[in-house]
Structure 1
Amino acid sequence: MKLEMICTGEEVLAGQIVDTNAAWFSNTLMEQGVECQRRTTVGDRLEDLVAVFKERSTEADVILVNGGLGPTSDDLSTEAMALAKGEDLVENSLWRNRLESWFTRNGRVMAESNLKQALLPESAIMIDNPVGTACGFAVKLNRAWLFFTPGVPFEFKQMVKEQFIPFINERFEIAGDVSLRKYLTLGQGESSLADALEAIVLPEGLTIGYRTSMPHIEIKLFARGLSAISEMDNIEKQIRFLLGTAIVADNKKTLAEEIHGLLLGSGSSLSVAESCTGGMIASQLVAFAGSSSYFHQGLITYCNESKVKVLGVKAETLDYHGAVSIETVEEMANGARAILDSDYALATSGIAGPTGGTDNKPVGTVAIALATKGGVYSQMIKLPRRSRDLVRSLSTAVAFDMLRRALLGEAVIIDYGSISRFKK
């Protein structure tokens, strides 16, 4: 089965919004053993939509079309499909009743324009959208089934899980003979990682890919066919041997997700005191449901006065060593941990830039500490020629990695290839 995706919308084509639906869809279908082989993005122009529907329907077996099912004048997917088929648009009475009931139930007056959402190509099969007003539908054109979904992410995702995947399983034999493993890395550039892995001789059907998502680079081991899948464990051992400490998580998008998994249900607790990272550590953790079971508090002690009054940092420490120093972050971490007697506490203080640096402590200098019940670990890293956002996100990632290593009983302070440290 050859699967493709067509993403519609001027805002997607122009880069005004990031198309997270497409990435989610490809990954979700990969987990079902189906590889998405092509993705096309097209704007809200009727002639372009018609053309791309006709063109891709001669090549693919199934095409998921995302977006363009709303009530406004720039929602053109349904009309374009009718033109591509040479059919009239016909009102679907079932969906009209659903629309009227939805608006009545929610105490709202249905605009005349919403009736457009009940119009479908004459040969279309209606596809239920249980959480929205945009009616999905499927149409056969040339060799392909085109399956239309709304662009609203939560509507789209529910329809893919509840309608699209069953739809293709009913009509095609899904071999499921593909497999993907992902390794999250920190501290090495893409070229360095590629050079290190060049020595691996890959069996037929296995490929290694790279995806940059700073502050991480994700390595993807992809297998096509049962023979290739059987070789994945062997190749994974070689990847781990060659990359060593550069790998910080498996099949996770971020280190925050890895930390959440390690802390959830562990009985351990965490507090955070942030200066240059400005709440980034805390924010990434509380994005996960259940983080309240281990996360005690996140304190943004941005000015020196708050470091003294909230965390108990000594004024003389700040006067003598400065806010960006090993001594200061160690006292910040100890102070944060002591407030609620947390098992662990992370602290950061640095110069994110673009100004504020000195000869001794240039922009990109960041001090990070991890306090535990057994002691404090700290380091000062150098991140020159990075943007303010990247300094903050890299510092957050290093802090998470220090905690990750402590939770796993590994050495907390290590050397990263592209992240240098001030030596004591």
Structure 2
Amino acid sequence: MKLEMICTGEEVLSGQIVDTNAAWFANLMMEHGIEVQRRVTVGDRMEDLIAVFRERSMHADVILVNGGLGPTSDDLSAEAMARAKEEPLVENPIWRQRITDWFARNNRPMPANNLKQALLPASAIMVDNPVGTACGFRVKLNRAWLFFTPGVPFELKHMVQEQFLPFIRDEFAIQSDIAVEKLLTIGHGESSLAAKLEPLSLPDGITLGYRSSMPHIEIKIFARGAAAIAQLAAVTAEVKQALGTAVVAENRQSLAEEIHQRLYQSGLSLSVAESCTGGMITSQLVAFPGSSSYLHQGLVTYSNESKVRVLGVKPQTLDDYGAVSIPVVEEMVRGARELLGSDFALATSGIAGPDGGTAEKPVGTVAIALATRNAVYSQMILLAGRSRELVRSISSAVAYDMLRRELLNEAVIVDYSFIQRYPK
């Protein structure tokens, strides 16, 4: 089966919004062992929509079309599909009633233009949208089924999981016995990871995939068929052994999620003091419900004065070593932990750029420390040539990894192939 996606909308085409729908859809399909082979983005112009529907329907078996099903004048997907098939739009009485009932149920007057959402190409088969007023539908054109979904992410996700996946499984007899294991890595490039795994001999039905989402690279191990699935655990263990300390989590989206799961309702507590990361470590944790069970506080001590007055860093230490230094970040992390007697604390201080570097401490220099009740661990890294955002995100990931390793009674500080570490 050849699967493609067409994303519509001027705001997507012009870059005014980031197309998270396409990324989510492609990732979900990959988890089901199906690769999206092409994605096209087209604006809200009738002739362009008609042309892309006709052209791609000659090559794909299934095309997910996302967007353009709203009630406004620039929502053109249904009309464009009708013109591509040279057939009229026809009102779907079931969906007209659904729209009318929705507005009545919510005690809202229904604008007349909402009835546009009940107009479908004459040959279309209605696809239910259980959480919105935009009617989904599917149409056969040339060799392809075009499956139309609204652009609202919440609505798209419901329809893909509840309608689209069952449809393609039935229509194309897609193998359902698929299993996936995901290994999250940091600090190593995709090519170096691939070089470590290349010597492995994988059983039939098992393949590897790579997904880069800095600061992480995710290794996906796909097993298709009962025999391959039976060997998945053993292959995963072999892959982990080959990658060594590069692997930082299994079946997690991020290191923040890994830390959250290890600390949640554990009885352990954490404080964070951030300078260059500017609250990133803390904010990634509070994105998860229940983080209040372990997170005591997150302090953004950006200025030297705040480091002194809030965390108890000695002015002399700042004068002697500078804010971006091992002695300062160690005093920061001790101060953060001692404020509320937390079990652990993390601290960062660095030069995220693009300015502020020196010959001795160039842009990308970051000091990171972890405090426990019994010890302090610290390291200075150099993230040369990275953007400001990437310096912050990689530094946050390294801090998380230090804590993760301490929780597992492993060596807290390890080498990463593309992160330079200063000797103490």
CA distance in 2, matches of 1:364, 1:53: 47
Partner of 1:92: 92
Q: Does 1:278 align with 2:278?
A: yes
Q: Does 1:396 align with 2:365?
A: no
Q: Cα offset for 1:382?
A: 1.6
Conservation of the 8 A alpha-carbon contact between 1:5 and 1:36:
no
CA distance in 1, matches of 2:91, 2:325: 69
CA distance in 1, matches of 2:56, 2:180: 26
Conservation of the 8 A alpha-carbon contact between 1:10 and 1:42:
no
AA partner of residue 72 (structure 1): T
- The CA deviation string for residues 203-260 of structure 1, in whole angstroms up to 9 with x for no partner, is 4444333332222222233344444444444443332222210111122222111111
Where does 1:56-71 land on structure 2 (aligned, <5 Å)?
56-71=56-71
Conservation of the 8 A alpha-carbon contact between 1:129 and 1:159:
yes
Conservation of the 8 A alpha-carbon contact between 1:326 and 1:380:
yes
CA distance in 1, matches of 2:285, 2:80: 44
Distance 1:393 1:75, change over 3 A: same
CA distance in 2, matches of 1:225, 1:14: 42
AA partner of residue 183 (structure 1): L
Where does 1:17-416 land on structure 2 (aligned, <5 Å)?
17-31=17-31, 33=32, 35-43=34-42, 44-169=44-169, 171=171, 173-416=173-416
Q: Cα offset for 1:402?
A: 0.3
Higher alpha-carbon deviation: 403-412 or 95-104: 95-104
Q: Cα offset for 1:144?
A: 4.0
AA partner of residue 78 (structure 2): T
Conservation of the 8 A alpha-carbon contact between 1:255 and 1:401:
yes
Higher alpha-carbon deviation: 226-235 or 19-28: 226-235
Structure 2: which 5+ runs fail to align? none
- The CA deviation string for residues 68-100 of structure 1, in whole angstroms up to 9 with x for no partner, is 101222222111221233321112233233333
Q: Cα offset for 1:360?
A: 2.4
The percent identity for this pair of structures is: 70
CA distance in 2, matches of 1:200, 1:288: 36
CA distance in 2, matches of 1:228, 1:58: 34
CA distance in 2, matches of 1:417, 1:409: 22
SS in 1 for 2:363: coil
- The CA deviation string for residues 161-211 of structure 1, in whole angstroms up to 9 with x for no partner, is 333334445555442244333222111222222222222234444433333
Q: Cα offset for 1:410?
A: 0.8
Conservation of the 8 A alpha-carbon contact between 1:126 and 1:138:
yes
Distance 1:159 1:209, change over 3 A: closer
AA partner of residue 319 (structure 2): D
SS in 1 for 2:159: helix
Where does 1:9-20 land on structure 2 (aligned, <5 Å)?
9-20=9-20
Distance 1:20 1:82, change over 3 A: same
Q: Cα offset for 1:60?
A: 4.5
Q: Cα offset for 1:297?
A: 1.2
AA partner of residue 74 (structure 2): D
CA distance in 2, matches of 1:410, 1:168: 45
Conservation of the 8 A alpha-carbon contact between 1:30 and 1:179:
no
TM-score, normalised relative to structure 2: 0.91
Higher alpha-carbon deviation: 92-101 or 151-160: 92-101
Conservation of the 8 A alpha-carbon contact between 1:42 and 1:49:
no
SS in 1 for 2:139: strand
CA distance in 2, matches of 1:396, 1:83: 52
Q: Cα offset for 1:104?
A: 4.5
AA partner of residue 343 (structure 1): D
CA distance in 2, matches of 1:295, 1:281: 11
Q: Cα offset for 1:295?
A: 1.4
AA partner of residue 9 (structure 1): G
Conservation of the 8 A alpha-carbon contact between 1:223 and 1:229:
yes
Distance 1:61 1:354, change over 3 A: closer
CA distance in 2, matches of 1:13, 1:411: 47
CA distance in 2, matches of 1:274, 1:35: 41
Aligned residues: 423
CA distance in 2, matches of 1:49, 1:102: 29
Distance 1:86 1:393, change over 3 A: same
Q: Cα offset for 1:67?
A: 1.0
Q: Cα offset for 1:59?
A: 4.9
Higher alpha-carbon deviation: 233-242 or 88-97: 233-242
Over aligned residues, Cα RMSD in angstroms?
Answer: 2.4
CA distance in 2, matches of 1:165, 1:30: 12
Higher alpha-carbon deviation: 42-51 or 312-321: 42-51
SS in 2 for 1:5: strand
Q: Cα offset for 1:276?
A: 0.5
SS in 2 for 1:386: coil
Conservation of the 8 A alpha-carbon contact between 1:181 and 1:251:
yes
Q: Cα offset for 1:112?
A: 3.3
AA partner of residue 114 (structure 1): N
CA distance in 1, matches of 2:18, 2:83: 29
Q: Cα offset for 1:152?
A: 0.7
SS in 1 for 2:182: strand
Conservation of the 8 A alpha-carbon contact between 2:33 and 2:222:
no
Q: Cα offset for 1:324?
A: 1.3
Structure 1: which 5+ runs fail to align? none
AA partner of residue 346 (structure 2): L
CA distance in 1, matches of 2:168, 2:198: 38
TM-score, normalised relative to structure 1: 0.91
